[in-house]
Structure 1
Amino acid sequence: MQVISKQYEDFVEQDFERYVKWHRRALEQPPEQYQILREMLAKIVPVEQNLSLLNLCAGNGNLIVYLNQKFSHWNYVGSDTVKRLIEDESTTKIQNKNIKLFPYTIEEIQSQYSNQFDLVVHFMRLLHFEDWREHIKTAVCASKKGGHIFISSLFNSFDVDLLTLVCDYNIPACSKGYCLQYNTFSAAEVERYCQSLDVREIHFTPFEISFDIPRKAEGVGSYTVRTKDGHRLTISAGMLMQWQILHIVV
Structure 2
Amino acid sequence: MNASETSDTSDTTSTPDTPDTSGPAVTPFSALIRTASHEAHTEAESSTFMGDLLGGRLGIEAYARYTEQLWFVYEALEADAGRLAADPVAGPFVRPELLRRTALERDLAHLRGPGWRDSLTALPATLAYAERVAECARTWPGGYVAHHYTRYLGDLSGGQIIRDRAERAWGFGRKGDGVRFYVFEDIANPAAFKRGYRELLDGVRADDLEKQRIVAECKRAFALNTGVFGALGEEFPLSA
- With the length of structure 1 as denominator, give the TM-score of the two structures: 0.26
- With the length of structure 2 as denominator, give the TM-score of the two structures: 0.27
- Work out which structure has the larger RCO, using CA pairs closer than 8 Å and 6 or more positions apart in sequence: 2
Higher strand fraction: Structure 1 or Structure 2?
1
